[in-house]
Amino acid sequence: MSSIRTMKTFLAVARHGSFAAAGAEIGLSAAAVGLQMRALEENLKQRLFDRSGRSVVLNTAGRRAIPRIEELVLRYEDLIGGRDGDSLSGTVVMGALVSTLMGAFADALWSLKRENPGLEVKLFAGQSSDFANRVEQGLLDAAIVTRPPRPLPRSLAWTQLYVEPMVMIVPRRPHFELPKDPLQALRESPFIRFDRETWTGLLVRDVLNRCRVEVRDGMELNSVEAIPAIVRQGFGVSIVPKLANVRWTEDRELRVVELPGVDVRRRVGLLERSRHARMRFTGAIKRYFTDAGRRKRAGA
């Protein structure tokens, strides 16, 4: 019978996609990880990986095994950890847009970690569309992503946590002539565009369509954090989500410009499988934002 340690190794391989990367996380050589995976396959009497030369990829059986092995590991951790009341413990593996770590999600995560010392959260940065596939396959427990532009499969659920308005930002000291009229500035200024293939990039396109303007693309980046830095240098204007914890109104190098009649918002939420082993944790995240919303309305 395979040990819990072997099952944890399997989950590390599933997360990282290679024996070497999984071994680096848990302190084993790639060869030792490979031996554990062979033993796991023998015990389960089925192949979990497709092997071709040096390449090792989870097959269909391996992907199906992730949620069940994950639940066994969780139950074991709960058994030996001895839950203290309703406290959360163990390891949660999440994906998160880097920009959400500059927003309200960072506050939620800090609060949960402070209240639950036995809780460990491993975060992986990436794009919303990539996280959707990894959550569905069980490679991630959950992810903080923007609202999906298309219907999700029944196996997945997305819950809105908070919203961020899409705003136009311009440099205070541009290297070009910046028209005072916002729409004219969009038409004539170099435009720093967020990657149009991403879910947030689709929101940028929505704003431009509502403004009915054609922009002059100067750069295209896939980082919400990098775009304001480029704008601050005076290289162009952009449309980005106004991150919850960023005080652009006090920024000495850029300013926020209102677009008349345009109200597009980025909706940030929690993506998870409809049933999974870390639902107590994801439930706590959702309750945090529900309570925060109530406090905000009560103080309004």
163-266: same fold as 1-79? no
Q: What is 1-79's CATH number?
A: 1.10.10.10
Write down how long the chain is: 300
- pTM of this structure: 0.74
Residues 42, 8 contacting (CB under 8 angstroms): no
- Tokens encoding 228: 């304001």
* Confidence at residue 300, expressed as pLDDT on a 0 to 100 scale: 54
Question: Model confidence over 7-29: pLDDT tens digits?
Answer: 889 988 887 788 888 888 788 89
* Confidence at residue 57, expressed as pLDDT on a 0 to 100 scale: 86
Say whether pLDDT at 193 is over 90: yes
Q: Which residues is 239 bridged to in the sheet?
A: 168
**In which band, very low, low, confident or very high, does the pLDDT at 84 lie, cut at 50, 70 and 90?**
very low
Question: Model confidence over 158-177: pLDDT tens digits?
Answer: 999 999 999 999 999 999 99
Q: What's domain 163-266's architecture?
A: 3-Layer(aba) Sandwich (3.40)
Question: Model confidence over 281-300: pLDDT tens digits?
Answer: 999 999 999 988 777 777 65
Sign of the Cα pseudo-torsion (129, 130, 135, 137, in order)? positive
Question: Model confidence over 85-134: pLDDT tens digits?
Answer: 456 777 888 999 888 887 678 888 889 989 988 888 888 888 888 898 88
User: What are the residue ranges spanned by the domains of the chain?
Assistant: 1-79, 163-266
| Residue 212 to residue 110: CA distance in whole angstroms | 41
Say whether pLDDT at 80 is over 80: no
| Residue 174 to residue 191: CA distance in whole angstroms | 12
Share of the chain above pLDDT 70, in %: 94
* Confidence at residue 46, expressed as pLDDT on a 0 to 100 scale: 92
- Tokens encoding 50: 């497709």
**In which band, very low, low, confident or very high, does the pLDDT at 147 lie, cut at 50, 70 and 90?**
very high
Residues 248, 255 contacting (CB under 8 angstroms): yes
